Amino acid sequence: MPMVLLKCDQDIPEREKHIYLKAPGESTREFLPLANAATIPGTLSERGCAFCGAKLVIGGVLKDTIQMIHGPIGCAYDTWHTKRYPSDDGKHFQLKYVWSTDMKESHIVFGGEKRLEKAMHEAFDEMPHIKRMIVYTTCPTALIGDDIPATVKRVTDKRPDVDIFIVECPGFAGVSQSKGHHVLNIGWIDHKVGTVEPEIKSPYTINFIGDYNIQGDTQLLQQYWDRLGIQVIAHFTGNANYDDLRGMHRAQLNVVNCARSAGYIANELKKRYGIPRLDIDSWGFNYMAEGIRKVCAFFGIEEKGEELIAEEYAKWKPQLDWYKERLKGTKMAIWTGGPRLWHWTKSVEDDLGVRVVAMSSKFGHEEDFEKVIARGQDGTYYIDDGNELEFFEIIDLIKPDVIFTGPRVGELVKKLHIPYVNGHAYHNGPYMGFEGFVNLARDMYNAVHNPLLSLAAEDIRGGGRVALKEAAE
């Protein structure tokens, strides 16, 4: 059974192209869900906008940088508190600020350049120890055509000690946040890489690309690199300093975790500077060990790698196995952005004995579906840009025990008495690495075995579902 038309989609048959049920022996290639296409109006997409992909996902993570959002204040809502990327030294309190030009109707009519200039000076005056800034345009300020480079130049002329990066990627620039990843990647390599020479302290240097320090992921992995004697020149962009990322051209190897959001810069670094690209998965015991082996093999330090893996297994594997024993056979759905579908499906199945029964990607491209369907099992649903009604129907069809998704969908499924774990910003992370995967297992275990669930009798559950479904219709 290749493409599937759900009952809730009968009035919009175009949705059939976005949902695939993998059947035994079928050629995946032939039935890839249509992806990275414009959302069908009215389908209540879960996607974010292109600006969000640039600001919230990548740029906003930089810890020593003022994030100036040139637009209405609503565009500045999402920041560290929704994405949860800490910084490591507690000095960077500006991460917790929202910087915006707070554009109102009259500024849209008369132009916002003066307002932006004033806001930039105010921000630097307010935070004298911060000398780096990213300026983002949003839909309204892009539409009225404010000249951002000219405005920024006026500011840097007066403040020669500051460095500013411009991201012109308004929300409407693409079909999802994926476009924002792309624009920021290319902008950074075009304008910033190569403008600082990093200090080389080790014979082994990498950039770690596509990891955003969600609840400390970067900091956990950093311990491994330190133990291996590998210098990370730049983390793109978890826990990163702006200037470290300007020195990316000096690494010997680019190690890529999230290929979707940051494969572009890795490819450009290869093209322009000849730095090879090595893709790894950082979630799960098997994958993390494989990743460490690949990186160590590149530098010829295999023994060190094996030592580290053995130490980590001795420390964490017994705990993982304790959870595996209790999670075996759990039916899991993953509804996140895209890459976590292919990063996670095999790792939870191999390491935890979990069965992944449905996956929905907000913005993954075809290549993400190729990877996830190749790694996923027969009888699993693969959905592109899923919407609320589809989620309800899929839940009825497959009855998952736990769903890894964001709080928006998560709070909704909670009302159906199905536990959710925050698949984006995590419940109690980090989730990467060996220790991190034990955290993931623990959060899944706590969700699935939550005693409150047993209080929710099946009939109440059924009733709740019907009521919610009716409300949604």
* Interface residues toward ligand CFM, by CB under 6 A: 53, 57, 177, 212, 214, 258, 260-261, 336-340, 362, 424
Q: How far is the CB of 78 from ligand CFM (least distance, A)?
A: 10
- Residue 80: CB minimum distance to ligand CFM, A: 13
CA distance 234 to 213: 13
Q: How far apart are CA 146 and CA 71, in angstroms?
A: 11
Query: 95 or 148: whose CB is closer to ligand CFM?
Result: 95
Minimum distance between the CB of residue 58 and ligand CFM, rounded to whole angstroms?
A: 7
Q: How far is the CB of 387 from ligand CFM (least distance, A)?
A: 16
Q: Which is nearer to ligand CFM, 55 or 250 (CB)?
A: 55
- Asked if 261 contacts 210 with a C-beta cutoff of 8 angstroms, the reply is yes
Q: 15 or 340, CB closer to ligand CFM?
A: 340
Distances (CA, A) of 449 to 34, 44, 397: 36, 31, 22
Least distance from ligand CFM to the Cβ atom of residue 128, Å: 31
Cα separation, 276 vs 50, in Å, equals 28
* Share of the chain residues as helix, strand and coil, in percent rounded to the nearest 5: 50, 15, 35
Name the residue nearer to ligand CFM (CB basis): 338 or 430. Answer: 338
Task: Identify which of residues 308 and 372 has a Cβ nearer to ligand CFM in the complex.
Answer: 372
Shortest distance (Å) from residue 443 CB to ligand CFM: 15
Other Cβ atoms less than 10 A from the Cβ of 13: the count is 9
Burial class (CB in 10 A: 0-12, 13-18, 19+), 404: buried
- Closest-CA residue to 431 (of 212, 208, 213, 217): 217
DSSP state string for 308-333: HHHHHHHHHHHHHHHHHHHHTT-EEE
Q: How far apart are CA 362 and CA 358, in angstroms?
A: 13
Please give the backbone phi and psi of residue 210, each rounded to the nearest 5 degrees, phi first.
Answer: 80, 50
- Of the pair 148, 334, the CB lying nearest ligand CFM is at 334
Q: How far apart are CA 49 and CA 69, in angstroms?
A: 14
Strand 132-137 to strand 66-70: parallel, antiparallel, or no bridges (unpaired)? parallel
Min. distance of Cβ 339 from ligand CFM in angstroms? 4
Tell the smallest beta-carbon distance from residue 288 to ligand CFM (Å): 15
Nearer residue to ligand CFM within complex by CB, 121 or 375: 375
Q: Which is nearer to ligand CFM, 124 or 342 (CB)?
A: 342
Q: How many CB atoms lie within 10 A of CB 30?
A: 7
Sole residue written with tokens 């019907």: 466
Structure letter (DSSP) for residue 56: I
Q: Which residue is nearest to ligand CFM (CB)?
A: 337
